[in-house]
Amino acid sequence: MIPRSALIIIAAMLSAPVVVAHHTVARTHDISHTVALIGRVTEIQWQNPHVIYHLAVPDTTGSLVDWEIESLHLQGMRRNGIEMDTIKVGDTVTMNVLLALDGSHHGATASVTLADGRTVRLCTVTDNRCP
């Protein structure tokens, strides 16, 4: 029989990666306003804990810059009307994002305007993604 203290330690070790991996958008992104990024989708990672989009966005010189855009988890995407095939590689979309505080080309979605013109909110009331 395994001692109760050993079971508690095992349970704590198994849950640690989940606790460490989860973060709040407010600690990593500027939640005071959103910025519209218009670009072509070059890659989609449809997976938990967050769906990730890569956009080729032209900078002020016309050169394309790769932006990594973090969105909701799979269930949150579906709850907001985004399925795996709603946004496709090659689509031109407008993503309203919260910019990363570290100045990198990373953002967290607040909303997306799809290739067909529909705008979908990709935030929840509790995660502060929609200023």
- Tens digits of residue pLDDT in 70-113: 999 999 899 988 999 999 999 999 999 999 999 999 999 989 99
State pTM to two decimals: 0.76
By the 8 A CB rule, do 95 and 53 touch?
A: yes
| Within a domain: 126 | no
d(CA 116, CA 60): 26
| Within a domain: 96 | yes
d(CA 131, CA 118): 20
**What is the average per-residue pLDDT within 45-63?**
94
| Within a domain: 129 | no
We report the CATH number of the domain holding residue 90 as 2.40.50.1010
Range of the domain at 45: 24-121
| Within a domain: 71 | yes
| Within a domain: 108 | yes
Tally of domains within the chain? 1
By the 8 A CB rule, do 95 and 109 touch?
A: yes
The predicted structure's pLDDT at residue 18: 40
| Within a domain: 130 | no
The predicted structure's pLDDT at residue 21: 46
55 pLDDT more than 90: yes
Q: Provide the pLDDT confidence category of residue 20 given band limits of 50, 70 and 90.
A: very low
Q: Provide the pLDDT confidence category of residue 31 given band limits of 50, 70 and 90.
A: confident
Question: Mean pLDDT, the chain, as a whole number?
Answer: 82
The predicted structure's pLDDT at residue 89: 97
Q: What is the DSSP string of 10-39?
A: HHHHHHHHHHHH---HHHHB-TT--EEEEE
The predicted structure's pLDDT at residue 121: 87
| Within a domain: 6 | no
| Within a domain: 70 | yes
Instruction: Tokens for 84, please give them.
Output: 């795996």
